[in-house]
Structure 1
């Protein structure tokens, strides 16, 4: 898929990576983009092609309403997310559930609502913004890692189910990006603009999985090996 003249919808478009997806779409000549957020009044794009739209991943009614309000979508970008910092064993169970409800159930709800829209409009594509933490866990990010692991394999599952309607489902994985969500992280961070650039370049090549940075490539290469030396390395890198 070439994003030029596509009709896109981006969740979590008011900040961070989601905002960069909208800006990159505009730069590449998108026909229209529904920029969604829980508070659409916070959206500040100065372009007539941007249509602000309310979408809350934890509110099923808002998901259905968004699909009804955007019947022309050909490209769905699931970028909305949270990071509670909850520990799995001692953390607030409500926060752990909120992570899973957002990244897994909420994203799946959006996909289920928009897959018939994409089918009607010729198949199109879905981009799910994932994380290197889909493949490992880190202290302070246990809930986030578990939720992203679930979202990663959900991405694989819906890809198979939607292939028959001609929908390309892409997973985009990265380490840390320079966004508000990662303000408290002292390690290396990539420019958030690299994420949509890599995703759209991958869509043009028909890639179902895009690895944005070297950190994520290292993590993926380690998955098939003994986890003990990998976690020793991770512990040393993260202090």
Structure 2
């Protein structure tokens, strides 16, 4: 499908990678972008920047009723960008309880799943369309210091494969975006070189235009996959050492 003339909805579209997606979709010719946020007012700057092109809507992916309301209010959507994410920087065993891991799974797995379920009929009615799931290097290699975040991205990567098979008959492409280190609030604790959110979004556009199943969106993601292919066990040991690191860095 073409981005030109498409209508997209971006979860967590008010900042970070989500904001980058809103910007790039408009730049690439999307007719309209719904910027989903728990507080629509937080996306007002995008509405003001792109008058008539961006619509801010209330959307909390942990609340099925807001997803249902968004689907009812946005019947013209042809692209779904599942971007909203949660990272609480807690360990699986070392944390006081599993509340952080539970919330990461709610936001990073059940949220995108419920979005796909709600919008699948809409995408079908509008010619098939595309679903983009914003995942992470932590979804292809287990990162112990990420606690519940890494497992939730593994889960959503598997879910994306299942959803792709289910929706193939209606012509909906499903793309997993493997994202490395990006200059966002979520990665503020990581040192070193980071990509800009808009560059991640531009790389992801191939998922729409080419129907690619999985994309490594940046250098760190490409290098991580290569290292995993060369020495899976060595990569696992390297990730385990990060538990004791005083500072996390992209190495660049």
- What per-residue deviation string (whole Å, max 9, x for no partner) do you get for residues 57-116 of structure 1? 110100100000000100111110011112111213111100001111111001100000
Give the alignment of 1:224-235 within 5 angstroms.
224=229, 226-234=231-239, 235=241
Per the alignment, residue 39 of structure 1 pairs with 39
Separation in 2 of the partners of 1:233 and 1:188?
19
**Which of the residues 169, 193, 197 maps onto 1:192?**
197
Separation in 2 of the partners of 1:175 and 1:213?
6
Q: Does the aligned pair in 1 maintain the 2:132–2:207 contact within 8 Å?
A: no
Give 3-state SS (helix, strand or coil) of 1:76's partner. strand
Q: Which moved more, 1:59-68 or 1:195-204?
A: 195-204
Please report how far the alpha carbon of residue 222 of structure 1 lies from its aligned counterpart in structure 2 after TM superposition: 4.1
Consecutive unaligned residues of structure 2, counting only runs of 5 or more, are none
- TM normalised by structure 1 equals 0.94
Consecutive unaligned residues of structure 1, counting only runs of 5 or more, are none
Per the alignment, residue 5 of structure 1 pairs with 5
Per the alignment, residue 151 of structure 1 pairs with 156
Separation in 1 of the partners of 2:188 and 2:235?
26
C-alpha RMSD over aligned residues: 1.7
Separation in 2 of the partners of 1:96 and 1:53?
27
Give 3-state SS (helix, strand or coil) of 1:68's partner. helix
Give 3-state SS (helix, strand or coil) of 1:193's partner. helix
Q: Does the aligned pair in 1 maintain the 2:137–2:224 contact within 8 Å?
A: yes
Q: Does the aligned pair in 1 maintain the 2:123–2:129 contact within 8 Å?
A: yes
Task: Sort the Cα spacing of 1:204 and 1:136 in 2 relative to 1 into closer, same or farther, 3 A.
Answer: same
Give 3-state SS (helix, strand or coil) of 1:140's partner. helix
Please report how far the alpha carbon of residue 2 of structure 1 lies from its aligned counterpart in structure 2 after TM superposition: 1.8
Give the alignment of 1:98-109 within 5 angstroms.
98-109=103-114
The reply on whether 1:140 has 2:145 as its aligned counterpart is yes
Per the alignment, residue 94 of structure 1 pairs with 99
Give 3-state SS (helix, strand or coil) of 1:8's partner. strand
Q: Which moved more, 1:138-147 or 1:215-224?
A: 215-224
**Which of the residues 215, 225, 238 maps onto 1:220?**
225
- What per-residue deviation string (whole Å, max 9, x for no partner) do you get for residues 162-206 of structure 1? 000000111111111001111111133112111110011342222
Per the alignment, residue 64 of structure 1 pairs with 68
Q: What is the aligned residue count?
A: 239
- TM normalised by structure 2 equals 0.89
Give 3-state SS (helix, strand or coil) of 1:171's partner. strand
Separation in 1 of the partners of 2:134 and 2:145?
20
Q: Does the aligned pair in 1 maintain the 2:82–2:131 contact within 8 Å?
A: yes
